[in-house]
Structure 1
Amino acid sequence: MTEFHQLPIDLPVPVDDGACDHLTGLTFPAVSLHATAGRDVDLSALAGRTVLYIYPRTGTPGVPSPQDWDSIPGARGCTPQSCAFRDHHAELQALGARVFGLSTQTTPQQAEAAARLHLPFPLLSDMAGELGRALRLPTFEVEGQHLLRRVTLIVKDGLIEKVFYPVFPPDQNAANMMGWLRQQPA
């Protein structure tokens, strides 16, 4: 499938393998990440709530996805996930949360996607894998690419308050964040 905005109906559902069980309650590490907004961001230093959705990679029109991409549980759906966060961005802000997306793609790759998808929030690059290693985030490899598995973190005042893993379907992730935030005091 080459349409990045559509999810295949037979997309395999990822299972919870326990790879994120250790994250809730952790202090978010002080790691400076390049952002598409043109500045570096250290999420550990931000006051209030931050929604950080972590995804494998955003597809690029005209560039084929890795072989068998749709058959890897949790791999497909980065563009629909980002678009859902875009579409619900104002509502998430009204609930007191800022939004960032994060992958291991380069900042120029992410900047292309952010511009093409009209994202109103920055994407962060963990190309060097520093944050992924510090948090021991789950990963997978495909065609020589070391990619992060899809997980969403809610960070409050430098602590990981809530972990959503696995994330499925990815296009419902933003709506699920809004539901959770509505139930939590600010």
Structure 2
Amino acid sequence: MAAGQTFQDVDWSALPVPEDDGAAAHLAGHSLPDLELPASNGAAVNLARLAGRTVVFAYPMTGTPGVALPDGWDGIPGARGCTPHACAFRDLHRELGDAGAAFVFGLSTQTESEQREAAARLHLPFALLSDASLSLTRALNLPSMEVDGKTMIKRLALIARDGVIEHVFYPVFPPDRNAGDVLAWLRAHPV
């Protein structure tokens, strides 16, 4: 990263655009599995048991300042942009709630401690969920990729209502626009 550049300063036109490989086509109408995920706020969250609308945006991994990203990260379609993705949801959090989102969560296969660090550093008003065990990823057969021997969720966003997935955004690009797209969908589909 150049001097003065932040994790949010990304030239999206210089990155490969992910294509819709159909890996999320099965998700709409699917019930969320009855399982608990550790959250960055110390809670355990069972998405299947949440009443109302829940927004879950998934991403491969949030970078950490001072820690190198995996080799070739920028060359993987859809990999770059996890911090801008999360920050866009942070910046629109109030509007998402006003549009009917009872809950907003970020999700990755990073550990609970990594999620806790990212949530604190980015000043997120919502929890980040850890699927380091891959229990949710496997139960829903979420689109994923292998990078440096780690399974990571491909970037997507789910809108669920009373534990059933209503709508899926996949692929998501550029990541910083996804929160606005989710907000527009919620406004167009009031409960």
The alignment's TM-score, normalised by the length of structure 2, stands at 0.95
Paired with 2:48 and 2:25, the residues of 1 have a C-alpha distance of: 20
Q: Which residue does the alignment assign to 1:54? A: 58
Q: Which residue does the alignment assign to 1:63? A: 67
Pairing 1:35-114 to 2, within 5 Å after superposition? 35-97=39-101, 98-114=103-119
Q: Structure 1 runs of 4+ off > 3 angstroms?
A: none
SS, match of residue 79 in structure 1? helix
Q: Superposition RMSD on alpha carbons, in Å?
A: 0.9
Quote the offset at 1:141 in angstroms: 1.0
Q: Which amino acid aligns with 1:22?
A: H
Pairing 1:102-181 to 2, within 5 Å after superposition? 102-181=107-186
SS, match of residue 26 in structure 1? coil
Contact 2:100 2:190 in 1 (8 A): no
1:7 aligns with 2:10: yes
Cα deviations by residue, 1:86-130 (Å, 9 ceiling, x for unpaired): 000000011110200000000111111111100000000000000
Paired with 2:109 and 2:119, the residues of 1 have a C-alpha distance of: 15
Q: Which amino acid aligns with 2:165?
A: I
SS, match of residue 102 in structure 1? strand
SS, match of residue 127 in structure 1? coil
Q: Which amino acid aligns with 1:125?
A: S
Unaligned runs of 5+ residues in structure 2 are: none
Q: Which amino acid aligns with 1:7?
A: V
Paired with 1:64 and 1:145, the residues of 2 have a C-alpha distance of: 15
Pairing 1:25-36 to 2, within 5 Å after superposition? 25-36=29-40
Quote the offset at 1:185 in angstroms: 2.1
Q: Which amino acid aligns with 1:6?
A: D
Percent identity, aligned pairs only? 59
Paired with 1:87 and 1:105, the residues of 2 have a C-alpha distance of: 22
Paired with 1:125 and 1:38, the residues of 2 have a C-alpha distance of: 11
Unaligned runs of 5+ residues in structure 1 are: none
SS, match of residue 21 in structure 1? coil
SS, match of residue 23 in structure 1? coil
Paired with 2:190 and 2:99, the residues of 1 have a C-alpha distance of: 10
Paired with 1:125 and 1:110, the residues of 2 have a C-alpha distance of: 7
Q: Which amino acid aligns with 2:75?
A: S
Paired with 2:180 and 2:143, the residues of 1 have a C-alpha distance of: 23
